Copies of this chain bind each other. A is one copy, B any other.
Amino acid sequence: MFTDFITILDLVGVAVFAATGGLVASRKEMDLIGFGMMATFTGVGGGTVRDVILDRPVFWVEDHRYLLVCLGIALLLYFFASHVQRRYVVLLWSDAIGLAAFAVLGAQLAREADAGPLIAIVLGMITATFGGLARDLVAGETPLLLKQEIYATAALVSAAVYVVFVDSIGVAPLIAAIGAILTGFAVRAGAILFGWSLPRYKQRAGRIYK
């Protein structure tokens, strides 16, 4: 049952990130192939980097359903995105769901590869953030990752809650995963809705940077 949950998590994460890629393609007024590429980069990018670092077989090479999901979503968005009012808001929330889900997924796969807790958390963050980072770099947009509000922190919270609950407290993985996703999503939601942010480093007056 936990395995099923992980598979669902994976497909949902790929789908919502693919959708954010397609939405950026619509913003850039790309053609259908551009939609397909942006959806695929974003949907499978983070997991590809994770699998290469863990030296696992890359997930979408093993199972072609992932590519089909990305391409199907690209097709849908190409024809119907213009019917969606306020697409940037949809992008933000889809990205938030994917972020929380992929962070837990990456941490779990790292645990299965016998990585320690710190490394599992970092791989969760990589899985959650690299697809969106690739999306924004390729499209020439300022990475969401670098914007003012909490973003990577939500991925960190998801992955860390999961690892701590499973490894230190001994919670059942399924319960820990659901709790971790909800916590990470709530943190990101707070950032989107209320502009939550961590204190930023401030230059001191009178200090010279150059």
Q: A82 touching B122 by the CB < 8 A rule?
A: no
- Chain B residues, CB < 8 A from A32: 198-199
Q: B31 touching A122 by the CB < 8 A rule?
A: no
Say whether, besides A57-B55, A68-B118, A208-B86, A152 and B202 are in contact (CB < 8 Å).
no
Q: B82 touching A30 by the CB < 8 A rule?
A: no
Say whether, besides A30-B146, A52-B53, A82 and B203 are in contact (CB < 8 Å).
yes
Q: A122 touching B34 by the CB < 8 A rule?
A: no
Q: A78 touching B201 by the CB < 8 A rule?
A: yes
**A208 vs B149: C-alpha distance in the bound complex, in angstroms?**
23
Stretch of A3-11, A100-108, A133-141, A173-181 contacting B (4+ beta carbons < 8 Å): A133-141
Say whether, besides A61-B119, A67-B118, A115-B61, A201 and B153 are in contact (CB < 8 Å).
no
**A137 vs B115: C-alpha distance in the bound complex, in angstroms?**
28
**A118 vs B61: C-alpha distance in the bound complex, in angstroms?**
10
A143 within 8 A of B: yes
- Chain B residues, CB < 8 A from A85: 207-208
Q: B54 touching A61 by the CB < 8 A rule?
A: yes
| Interface contacts beyond A26-B201, A60-B119, A82-B204: sample of 13 additional A-B pairs, CB < 8 Å, sorted by A | A28-B146, A30-B200, A31-B153, A52-B52, A54-B58, A54-B61, A61-B119, A64-B116, A82-B202, A82-B207, A133-B138, A138-B143, A140-B146
A interface list, Cβ under 8 A from B: 25-35, 37, 40, 48, 52-55, 57-58, 60-61, 64, 67-68, 78, 81-82, 85-89, 115-116, 118-119, 122-123, 125, 133, 137-140, 142-143, 145-146, 150, 152-153, 156, 197-204, 207-210
